[in-house]
Each structure stands twice: as C-alpha cells, then as structure tokens.
C-alpha cells in the first residue's frame, strides 16, 4: 500500500523534526552547509503544526525520533554510537534509545506471556519484576524460575509493534521509489533493495523464536572465545512473543567511568570488542549485527557479555575472503591490491581503470594512518567514499549492508571506551590470522578436498551418465555433430582435481 498516505507520513516526519526543535539541532550536529539549513527550515516551517509533539522531557532529536516510531528509533540507535559523526552531545542524547524508552504496563506483559505459554505467570516464575529495560521492539523483565530458582531475563514484544513497523517500512519503500525516479544517479545505490533487505532483517526481530535460535547458534560458535559470554535461551519458556534467557549480570558497556572504577582496562576492552566482532564475521560468517552499547555488558571478571540477538548477520565463505583481503590491503596500505580485489569480486565494473581506482582508495586510506582516531572525521571520510563509489559506478552490495553497518557501530563502541583507538592496528591480528588460515596453501588443499567430496556424491551416477553419453554419441540425431559428453568431462575434471590436490598437498607439506 505504497500510496499517497506515505507522502503524508514523510511530511509529518519533517514536520515533527521542526515542531520539536530537532531540525536545527540535527543539521547543526551533522555540520550541514548554511544553504541546506536555510532550505530545510523554510520548507519545514509551514508544516510545523502537522508534526507530532513528542515527550517534552526529552532532548529535541530524541523527542522527535521516539514520537515517529520504532523504525526511526532503530536509526537513532545507530547514530548514538557515532559521536564523531553527530557530535558527543547528540550521541549522548540518542543513547537513551538503546534501552531506556518508556515501557508498557507490566499487566500487558503478563497477559502476553500467559497467552503465549499457556500458563499463569505466577506458575512460571516465583519473582517477576517491573521492566528493567525497554527498547523499540520489546522490553525486558528480571524474573526467577519457579522450577529451578535461576535468575532469568524475560523479553516480551511490545503490543502492536508489527503493525507499527510495517507502517514505517512502507513509507521507507515509498521514499526509496521516489528517490530512484527523481534521481536516476541514485539507482546504483539500489535504495529499494536496501530497504527490502532491512525489512527482512527487522521483521525477523518480531519472532522471538528466531532470536532464541540465533542465541543458541551464536553461543555454540563462540564457546571457545576467551573473554566473551553469551546467555543461553530457555526453550521451554520461549515462543513467538516471549523469550527467556539466562540473566546477564554486568556493568553497562556505555559507562566507561564505572568500568574503569571496577579495575577493568577500557583500552584493552575497546580492542577486544572490535577483534571479537571481526573474528565472528571472518571465522564463522555469523555475527551479532546489533552490537551497540545497550546490547553489551562487562562482567566483574572483564568478560564481554552480548545479548539481544534479534539481528544477526551471515556472509558466505567467498565474501569473507574478499572482505579479509580488502581489510588486509588497507592495513598494509597496498591500495592497488585493494582495487584488484574489488574488480575480481565484480564490485566495480570491469570497464573502469584499476589504477585510477587504486589512487582514489589511497586518498581514502592514507589519512587514517599516522593519526589517532580523535583527529579523523568519519563524516568527511564517508562523504569522500560516496564520491569515489559514484565516480566508479559501484553498486550497493546488499549482502554486505549488515556487515558494514555493524562495523560502524562496533567502531563507535570501541571509540567510546578509547577515543584514540586505531581501528586498523586493532584489526590487524585477526585479519592476518584469517588470511594465514584461509588464503594460503593449506586452504587450497582444504578447498580441493571439499570439491572432491562434493563430486564423490555423484559417484553412483557416473556409470549411468557414461551410458547416456555413449547412447547419445551412437544415436543418429541432427545434433550428433556436437555431442554432449557430461560423463567424460566429469572424469577429466575429477582427474584434474585429484592431480591438483596431490600437487597442493606436496606444496603445503
């Protein structure tokens, strides 16, 4: 239903920012040019009376975002981790969006639990608290299981949340379509594909059974990671609108002063949170894609505790290798290799000049090295990257959206703990380890073995394929002059692979 009502929705968005006083604050924080500020104020002022009033107790931008609904709140959560983009003051204001939103009544939460699990709350839990955290999609209660006495977190979806999200996403689809029609140059960014991708991700958050499964998988993947903990779900107490997990006891990741007072080194913590994210993305291809401050705690022993697994990212093995090579190229300042990887992966059209692209990448990468993070403007860096991608015709890679977004968020978390962190130096050990294990001779052997195993599954069919090939060869037919020989080709391919496997093993050993 992407019709005129969406125009109304977008008008009210601008009007809400104007009415709450957020328009000027947002443009100031983003360091918008004076002309853009003037146009925005002139265009917004006549519609000011149409905007939502919001909560006057909140700062202007937070007030506008919370008034507009859950999809806007999600966007604000990302910005809250980027003080270098929106400024420290606005980032602090937006941080309340992570887990300090107004809760819904406890009676409503209990009704949802009873409807989902089919038993009274008093029969399930001996203790059940008022909400301890409330975010855009759900809120959390602390409870104690009646059967075991274990302390648990009970997550309950907000009533009517799916309808509210669909309304916002519908408006975003409409806006993306308008952008593509009015600005053909924007089509390379594939705004409609981007919105569809996020729609699938966000709607996945609205089924807590999927989140429980994600938590279980993530816990299994990271069981051997030192200094990292994942609470485990209680399957018998979880459903579509309710999820129960082990209680995570720790200090908020967003409180560096408390972390320092507890005797935990925030500098070491900043490096570990970045390295853990990269390990999960490169090693497992499965990573927490919503790692903002509100979803991380620090245990008394210094372990990082992650929770809220509504958004998880997955990338295939080939993409992980491409991503690692790009990161390694930047770390080594080998911009020509970074450019070659983009061309090899098809990220840049083949008719563009690889040397020109390498030169453009150098202008992006060089300012990073030799500086601490406090002197790097990520806003300017992103603006220049946009110019580079436009010039070389790069299209938005929807499979990498979550990875890129989470990288921005995690860097923001790390920077809040250590403003002088050098992202590239912190990433180096993880990327180098992945490169050694997955792009060397041993990885060639592993890939060949895997290929031979795959071909082995067709072994029982090889006689049949050979007989069919012979019959087609001997049968008179118009196309006999150009026979198909799948079985022979398969034998040749298998022999070549086995030979290559032997050579690779000899090289690796």
Q: Which active-site residues does the annotation give?
A: 290
Q: How far apart are CA 6 and CA 400, in angstroms?
A: 28
H or E segment and range at residue 406: helix 401-417
Q: Which two tokens stand for residue 114?
A: 């009873």
**Residue 399 neighbours by CB distance under 10 Å:** 12
Angle at 235 between CA 229 and CA 238, to 5 degrees: 105
Q: Is 416 helix (H, G, I), strand (E, B) or coil?
A: helix
Q: Are residues 411 and 274 in contact, defined by beta-carbon separation less than 8 angstroms? A: yes
Distance of CA 114 to the CA centre of its chain: 33
Establish how many alpha carbons lie within 13 A of residue 86's alpha carbon, considering only the half-sphere containing its beta carbon.
22
Q: How far apart are CA 103 and CA 108, in angstroms?
A: 10
Distance of CA 496 to the CA centre of its chain: 40
Question: Directed axis angle between helix 401-417 and helix 191-204, to 10°?
Answer: 70
Q: How does DSSP assign 197-265, residue by residue? A: HHHHHHHHTT-HHHHHHHHHHHHHHTTT-TTEE-PPB-GGG--SSEEEEE---SEETT-HHHHHHTT--
Backbone angles phi, psi at 348, to 5 degrees: -120, 135
Give the CA distances from residue 92 to residues 82, 89, 250, in Å, rounded to whole numbers and listed in that order. 10, 5, 21
User: Using alpha carbons only, how large is the chain's radius of gyration in Å?
Assistant: 27
Q: Which two tokens stand for residue 116?
A: 């989902």
* CA dihedral sign, ordered 63, 66, 71, 73: positive
H or E segment and range at residue 441: helix 441-456
* CA dihedral sign, ordered 296, 298, 302, 306: negative
Strands 151-157 and 296-298, by their bridges, are unpaired
To the nearest 10°, report the CA torsion of 468, 471, 473, 475: -140
Q: Are residues 68 and 16 in contact, defined by beta-carbon separation less than 8 angstroms? A: yes
Q: How far apart are CA 470 and CA 472, in angstroms?
A: 5
CA nearest 310: which of 218, 380, 227, 395? 218
In which residue are the tokens 């992945």 written? Answer: 434
């Amino acid at each position: 239903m992407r019709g005129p009502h969406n125009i109304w929705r977008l008008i009210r968005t601008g009007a809400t920012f104007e009415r709450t006083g957020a328009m000027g604050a947002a443009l100031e924080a983003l360091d918008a040019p004076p002309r853009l500020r003037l146009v925005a104020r002139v265009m917004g002022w006549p519609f000011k009376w149409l905007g939502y009033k919001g909560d006057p107790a909140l700062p202007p931008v937070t007030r506008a975002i919370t008034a507009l609904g859950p999809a806007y709140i999600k966007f604000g959560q990302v910005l809250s981790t980027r003080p270098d983009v929106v400024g420290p003051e606005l980032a602090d204001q937006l941080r309340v969006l992570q887990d300090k939103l107004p809760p819904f009544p406890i009676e409503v939460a209990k009704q949802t639990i009873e409807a989902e699990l089919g038993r009274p709350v008093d029969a399930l839990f001996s203790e059940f608290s008022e909400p301890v955290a409330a975010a855009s999609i759900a809120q959390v209660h602390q409870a104690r299981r009646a059967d075991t006495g274990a302390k648990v977190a009970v997550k309950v979806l907000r009533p009517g949340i799916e309808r509210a999200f669909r309304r916002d996403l519908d408006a975003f689809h409409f806006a993306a379509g308008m952008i593509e029609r009015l600005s053909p140059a924007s089509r390379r960014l594939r705004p409609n594909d981007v919105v569809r991708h996020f729609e699938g991700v966000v709607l996945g958050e609205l089924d807590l059974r999927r989140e429980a499964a994600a938590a279980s998988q993530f816990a299994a993947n990271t069981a051997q990671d030192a200094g990292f903990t994942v609470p485990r779900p209680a399957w018998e107490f979880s459903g579509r609108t309710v999820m129960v997990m082990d209680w995570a006891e720790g200090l908020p990741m967003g409180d560096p002063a408390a972390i320092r007072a507890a005797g935990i080194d925030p500098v070491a913590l900043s490096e570990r949170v970045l390295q853990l994210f990269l390990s999960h993305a490169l090693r497992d291809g499965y990573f927490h894609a919503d790692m903002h401050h509100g979803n991380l705690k620090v245990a008394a022993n210094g372990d990082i505790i992650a929770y809220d697994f509504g958004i998880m990212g997955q990338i295939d093995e080939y993409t992980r290798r491409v991503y690692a090579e790009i990161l390694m190229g930047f770390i080594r300042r080998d911009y020509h290799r970074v450019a070659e990887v983009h061309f090899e992966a098809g990220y840049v059209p083949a008719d563009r000049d690889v040397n020109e692209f390498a030169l453009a990448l150098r202008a992006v990468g060089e300012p990073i090295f030799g500086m601490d993070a406090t002197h790097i403007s990520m806003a300017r860096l992103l603006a220049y990257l946009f110019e580079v991608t436009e010039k070389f015709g790069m299209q938005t890679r929807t499979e990498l959206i979550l990875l890129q977004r989470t990288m921005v968020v995690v860097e923001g978390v790390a920077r809040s703990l250590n403003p002088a962190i050098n992202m590239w130096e912190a990433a180096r050990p993880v990327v180098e380890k992945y490169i050694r294990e997955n792009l060397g001779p041993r990885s060639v052997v592993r890939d060949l073995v895997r290929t031979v195993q795959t071909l082995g599954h067709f072994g029982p069919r090889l006689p049949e394929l050979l007989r069919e090939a012979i019959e087609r060869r001997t049968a008179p037919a118009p196309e006999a002059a150009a026979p198909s020989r799948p079985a022979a080709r398969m034998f040749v391919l298998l022999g070549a692979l086995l030979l290559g496997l032997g050579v690779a093993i000899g090289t690796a050993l």
